[in-house]
Structure 1
Amino acid sequence: MAVWTLGLNHKTAPIDLRERFAFASEKLDQSLRGLRQSFATHKEVAILSTCNRTEIYCAGDEVQIPQTLKWLADAGNTQVNVLASHTYRFEGDASARHAFRVASGLDSMVLGESQILGQLKEAVRVASDSGALGTTLNQLFQRSFAVAKEVRSTTEIGAHSISMAAAAVRLSGRIFENIKETNVLFVGAGEMIELCVAHFAAKSPKSITIANRSADRADLLAQSHGGLSISLADLPKRLHEFDIVISCTASTLPLIGLGAVKSALRKRKSKPMFMVDLAVPRDIEPEVKDLRDVYLYTVDDLTEVINSGQVHRQAAVVNAEVIIDDGVQKFMAWLAHRNQVPLIQELNYQADAWRQAEVMRARKLIDKGQSIESVLESLSMGMMKKMLNGPLRELNHAEEPQRVKAREAVKQMFLKV
Structure 2
Amino acid sequence: MQLYALGLNHHTAPLAIRERVAFQAESLGEALHDLTRAGEVREAAILSTCNRTELYFTAEQAQAAADWLARFHQLSLTEVSPYLYAYPERDAIRHVFRVASGLDSMVIGEPQILGQVKDAVRTAEEAGTLGMLLNKLFQNTFAVAKEVRSSTAIGANIVSMAAASVHLVERIFGHISEQHVLFIGAGEMIELCAAHFAGARPASMTVANRTEERAQELASRFGARTMRLDGIGEVLPKFDVIVSCTAAPLPIVGLGMAERAVKARRHRPMVMVDLAVPRDIEPEIGEMDDVFLYTVDDLAQVVDAGLESRQQAVVEAERIIDTRVDGFLHWLELRGVVPTIRALREQADETRQTELERALRLLRRGDDPEQVIAALAHRLTNKLTHAPSRYLHDAEGERQLEAVQLIGQLLHSARRR
TM-score range, shorter chain: over 0.9
Q: Under a length normalisation based on structure 1, what TM-score does the superposition of the two structures give?
A: 0.94
Instruction: Measure the CA separation in 1 of the matches of 2:294 and 2:412.
Output: 71
Instruction: Give the CA deviation at 1:415.
Output: 5.7
RMSD of aligned alpha carbons? 1.7
Aligned to 1:44: 43
- Which of residues 191, 196, 217 is equivalent to 1:194? 191
Could you say what secondary structure the match of 2:55 adopts? strand
Is 1:141 aligned to 2:169, yes or no? no
Instruction: Measure the CA separation in 2 of the matches of 1:398 and 1:177.
Output: 81
Instruction: Give the CA deviation at 1:367.
Output: 4.8
Aligned to 2:253: 256
- State the one-letter code of the partner of 2:28: L
Instruction: Measure the CA separation in 1 of the matches of 2:196 and 2:395.
Output: 77
Q: Under a length normalisation based on structure 2, what TM-score does the superposition of the two structures give?
A: 0.94
Instruction: Measure the CA separation in 2 of the matches of 1:239 and 1:375.
Output: 97
- Which of residues 211, 219, 222 is equivalent to 2:219? 222
Is 1:392 aligned to 2:389, yes or no? yes
Instruction: Measure the CA separation in 1 of the matches of 2:192 and 2:56.
Output: 29
More deviation, 225-234/331-340: 331-340
Instruction: Measure the CA separation in 1 of the matches of 2:4 and 2:11.
Output: 19
Aligned to 1:411: 408
Instruction: Give the CA deviation at 1:154.
Output: 1.9
Instruction: Measure the CA separation in 2 of the matches of 1:405 and 1:311.
Output: 51
- Which of residues 101, 104, 127 is equivalent to 1:104? 101
Aligned to 1:34: 34
Instruction: Give the CA deviation at 1:377.
Output: 3.1
Is 1:267 aligned to 2:255, yes or no? no
Instruction: Measure the CA separation in 1 of the matches of 2:403 and 2:187.
Output: 63
* Residue 405 to residue 177, structure 1, CA distance change in 2 (3 Å): closer
Instruction: Measure the CA separation in 1 of the matches of 2:247 and 2:14.
Output: 19
Structure 2 residue runs without a partner (length 5+): none
Aligned residue-pair number: 414
Is 1:151 aligned to 2:148, yes or no? yes
Instruction: Measure the CA separation in 1 of the matches of 2:395 and 2:244.
Output: 75
CA contact (8 A) 1:38 1:71 kept: no
Instruction: Measure the CA separation in 2 of the matches of 1:408 and 1:304.
Output: 58
Instruction: Measure the CA separation in 2 of the matches of 1:384 and 1:139.
Output: 40
Any runs of at least 4 consecutive aligned residues in structure 1 with deviations exceeding 6 A, and if so which? Answer: none
More deviation, 398-407/334-343: 398-407
Is 1:375 aligned to 2:359, yes or no? no
- State the one-letter code of the partner of 1:54: T
More deviation, 74-83/48-57: 74-83
More deviation, 213-222/264-273: 264-273
CA contact (8 A) 1:185 1:246 kept: yes
Instruction: Give the CA deviation at 1:359.
Output: 2.6
- Which of residues 100, 108, 128 is equivalent to 1:131? 128
Alignment of 1:12-411 (within 5 A): 12-40=12-40, 43-59=42-58, 62=60, 64-397=61-394, 399-411=396-408
Show CA shifts across 1:145-180 (max 9, x none).
122112212221112211111111111112213311
More deviation, 209-218/313-322: 313-322
Structure 1 residue runs without a partner (length 5+): none
Could you say what secondary structure the match of 1:333 adopts? helix
More deviation, 287-296/199-208: 287-296
Instruction: Give the CA deviation at 1:14.
Output: 0.8
Percent identical among aligned pairs is 49
Instruction: Give the CA deviation at 1:298.
Output: 0.9
CA contact (8 A) 1:32 1:45 kept: yes
Show CA shifts across 1:169-206 (max 9, x none).
11111221331111110000001000111111111111
Instruction: Measure the CA separation in 1 of the matches of 2:399 and 2:305.
Output: 62
- State the one-letter code of the partner of 1:56: L
More deviation, 407-416/219-228: 407-416
Instruction: Measure the CA separation in 2 of the matches of 1:85 and 1:357.
Output: 62
Instruction: Measure the CA separation in 1 of the matches of 2:3 and 2:95.
Output: 12
- State the one-letter code of the partner of 1:59: T
Instruction: Measure the CA separation in 2 of the matches of 1:292 and 1:410.
Output: 79
